[in-house]
């Protein structure tokens, strides 16, 4: 394809390492460029499993458009061979945002200011490039390294949409329900402000440690979607006593049911709160950290369950295949046995007929 301009073999240019992620149509593996010894991440898409190549082309085009920003995952190179497409990006070794906060044990409003400045700057840049991310969630917000001051990187543009001239609205239902705006859930036309809604959800979670529309992380999907549609959330929990009114006001302006009323990224970047002009606490909010630990543990448990289910599915598939092969072999053996028995019966019948004929001739001769 045109966007996969490099025709040299991926295996010649890179040493492939362990697989760090997988999905229905692709897997992500660590790789080291042989020439420079630099480490990257390779998204490997099997052509046999790829349903729509146009979406892949659009993803690469989007990565090329948005890559010139310090808080957006950088595209390095693309490759193609007869079996697969390869998208090579920078490797973020620091894990995802929520897991990192929990592992460091530091959750404060000042930390949230630093995080949101980077995140909002990235989304403003993405929107200026004519792109709507459409799948912002904790798993897609990465840390470039394990260092304490590692930069945030917005990743995974597989569901993103590149708007063309005169095309400002979208209608495809996509993303993760917990982070979707009301208009997406209602299956209405929407625009790039769906990302602004998600920024409000993420900011809320980072500050208090729980989801605005699912405090305990156990709501049925239907109930969660109803609360999102009705914008039913509050700041009543005691954890919010440690958080400034300025932060709560920003969340309120982002979580607006009417898209046109939502705070824009530019407006948010101009607020005193995000520019350090408001006194906020840098001490860890212990209750928020405890809440976030519970949320991260739920996510990790779901991820393990997902891998276990996938492994079990593969095992069952293998067992079914083996059973099918054994059944086929058994049928073939039975058929062969029947053919042999039939052949033996025919042979026995022939011998019997020959014996009868010979006996008959003997009897005739004796009578004569």
The pLDDT, as a whole number, for residue 312 is 37
Q: Has 214 been annotated as catalytic? A: no
The pLDDT, as a whole number, for residue 290 is 94
The pLDDT, as a whole number, for residue 317 is 46
| The pTM of the whole model exceeds 0.85 | no
| CA dihedral over 113, 114, 115, 120, signed as positive or negative | positive
Q: Please list the ranges in the chain whose pLDDT falls under 70.
A: 1-8, 164-175, 302-330, 345-368
The pLDDT, as a whole number, for residue 364 is 45
The pLDDT, as a whole number, for residue 15 is 95
Count Cβ atoms below 10 Å from residue 206 Cβ, excluding itself: 23
Of the listed 61, 68, 103, 135, which one is catalytic?
Answer: 135
The pLDDT, as a whole number, for residue 337 is 77
The pLDDT, as a whole number, for residue 315 is 38
The CATH architecture annotation of domain 97-307 reads Orthogonal Bundle (1.10)
The pLDDT, as a whole number, for residue 161 is 87
The pLDDT, as a whole number, for residue 10 is 87
Q: What is the pLDDT of residues 268-327, one digit of tens each?
A: 999 999 999 999 999 999 999 999 999 888 877 765 544 344 443 443 344 344 445 545
Mapped onto helix, strand or coil, the DSSP state of residue 112 is helix
How far is the C-alpha of 177 from the C-alpha of 135, rounded, in Å? 10
Q: Which two tokens stand for residue 130?
A: 């004519």
Q: Which two tokens stand for residue 224?
A: 């969660």
The pLDDT, as a whole number, for residue 253 is 98
Give the H or E element holding residue 90: strand 84-90
The CA distances from residue 196 to 96, 126, 183, in Å, are 20, 12, 13
Show Cβ contacts of residue 282 under 8 Å, excluding neighbours closer than 6 positions: 108, 109, 110, 111
The answer to whether residues 160 and 131 touch, using CB atoms and an 8 Å cutoff, is yes
The pLDDT, as a whole number, for residue 169 is 61
Angle CA 220–185–140, to nearest 5: 80
DSSP 124-179: HHHHHTTEE-----GGGEEESSSSTTPPEEE---TT-EEPPTT---B----S-GGG
The pLDDT, as a whole number, for residue 326 is 45
Is the domain spanning 10-90 CATH 3.30.200.20? The answer is yes
The pLDDT, as a whole number, for residue 318 is 40
The answer to whether residues 79 and 86 touch, using CB atoms and an 8 Å cutoff, is yes
Where in the chain are the domains? 10-90, 97-307
The pLDDT, as a whole number, for residue 262 is 98
């Amino acid at each position: 394809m045109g966007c996969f301009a490099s025709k040299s073999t991926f295996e010649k240019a890179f040493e492939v390492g362990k697989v760090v992620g997988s999905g229905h149509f692709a897997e992500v593996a660590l790789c080291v460029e042989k020439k420079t010894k630099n480490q990257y991440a390779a998204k490997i898409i099997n052509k046999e499993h790829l349903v729509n190549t146009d979406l892949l082309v659009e993803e690469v085009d989007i990565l090329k458009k948005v890559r010139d920003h310090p808080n957006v995952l950088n595209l390095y190179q693309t490759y193609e061979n007869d079996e697969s497409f390869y998208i090579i990006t920078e490797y973020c070794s620091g894990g995802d945002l929520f897991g990192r906060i929990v592992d460091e044990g530091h959750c404060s409003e000042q930390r949230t200011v630093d995080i949101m400045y980077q995140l909002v700057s990235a989304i403003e840049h993405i929107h200026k490039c004519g792109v709507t991310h459409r799948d912002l969630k904790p798993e897609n917000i990465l840390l470039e390294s394990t260092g304490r001051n590692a930069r945030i990187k917005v990743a995974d543009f597989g569901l993103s949409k590149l708007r063309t001239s005169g095309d400002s609205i979208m209608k495809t239902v996509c993303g993760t329900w917990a982070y979707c705006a009301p208009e997406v859930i209602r299956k209405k036309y929407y625009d790039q402000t769906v990302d602004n809604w998600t920024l409000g959800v993420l900011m809320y979670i980072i500050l208090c440690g729980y989801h605005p529309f699912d405090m305990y992380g156990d709501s049925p999907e239907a109930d969660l979607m109803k609360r999102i549609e009705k914008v039913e959330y509050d700041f009543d929990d005691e954890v919010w006593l440690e958080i400034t009114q300025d932060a709560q006001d920003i969340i309120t302006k982002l979580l607006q049911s009417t898209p046109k009323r939502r705070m824009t990224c530019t407006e948010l970047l101009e607020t005193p709160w995000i520019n350090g002009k408001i006194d906020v606490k840098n001490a860890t909010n212990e209750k928020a950290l405890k809440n976030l630990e519970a949320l991260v543990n739920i996510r990790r448990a779901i991820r393990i369950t997902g891998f276990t289910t996938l492994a079990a599915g593969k095992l069952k598939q293998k067992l079914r295949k083996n059973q099918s092969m054994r059944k086929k072999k058994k049928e073939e053996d039975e058929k062969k046995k029947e053919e042999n028995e039939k052949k033996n019966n025919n042979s026995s019948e022939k011998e019997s007929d020959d014996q009868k004929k010979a006996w008959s001739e003997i009897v005739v001769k004796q009578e004569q």
